[in-house]
Amino acid sequence: MAAAVNNIAATFSSASRSSPHVPTTPTVALSAASSRPISASWNPHSVLPRSRRSSLLGIYGLPGPRPRPLRLPRPSAAPPPRTISAGDRLPDATLSYLDRSGAVRTVSISGLTRGRRTVIMAVPGAFAPPRRPRWWSGSGPSFGLSAEGLVKRAAEMKQRGGGGVVVACVAANDVYVMRAWGEQLGAAEAGVTMLSDPDAELARALGLALDLRGGTEGFGMRSEGYLLVAADGVVKALFRNYQNGGGAAIVRSDDVFKVL
């Protein structure tokens, strides 16, 4: 009986050895001596004994003082330009107008005044009434010359100045409004050039800009009312349109003729 059992066991053993091999996943046993921490390649402190490992304090030291908050300087408003006066050279600016064909043309102040006498009158707005308390300030002398008066006496101004005087009227309106206003005044026939300063560039450069924003008239940045006489780009006289208050004398066109 024992011999038979042994024969059966031997048969199963030989059958097991002759069966197809089933691949298994190999396992790799890492010995304690050959294994290293994965972080050893980039953390040199890990190879040191625990008692000698550096701490953050040992590497970087104690934390420094708390950083102060960054305070950027506040943008300061640019000082307003100095108001031009007699003896100053006119700053250059570009003005616009419509020629007889309806094309938009530009002219610079330097080109307008070079080598000749020039009378430039500015008003806050075309077609606007000549008197508005909000448009004037101060108590100095005012001039009684309006755009209508400028057109009427333009020929006399040209004659007083020897015939080479340029007479122009400027307002912070577009070229089409200035053209229409000039046609109503008869400016072309009188030899008065109607010039547009739409961005108040000239008024700002002269220090004569007038801030009329917030009013019901629909104005924005405009020009003060003034009249200046220049010779070859140099201001000979400046008359600002102040309110006639406190008994101040009114500058008339005759005063302009004296300068010419």
Cα atoms in the Cβ-side hemisphere of radius 13 Å centred on 167: 27
pLDDT of residue 246: 41
pLDDT at residue 57 tops 60: no
- CA-to-CA distance for 37 and 45, rounded, in angstroms? 12
- CA-to-CA distance for 210 and 204, rounded, in angstroms? 9
- For the segment 116-132, what is each residue's pLDDT rounded down to a tens digit? 999 999 988 888 876 55
pLDDT of residue 213: 83
Phi-psi region of 182 (alpha: psi -120 to 50; beta: other; left: phi over 0): alpha
pLDDT of residue 207: 92
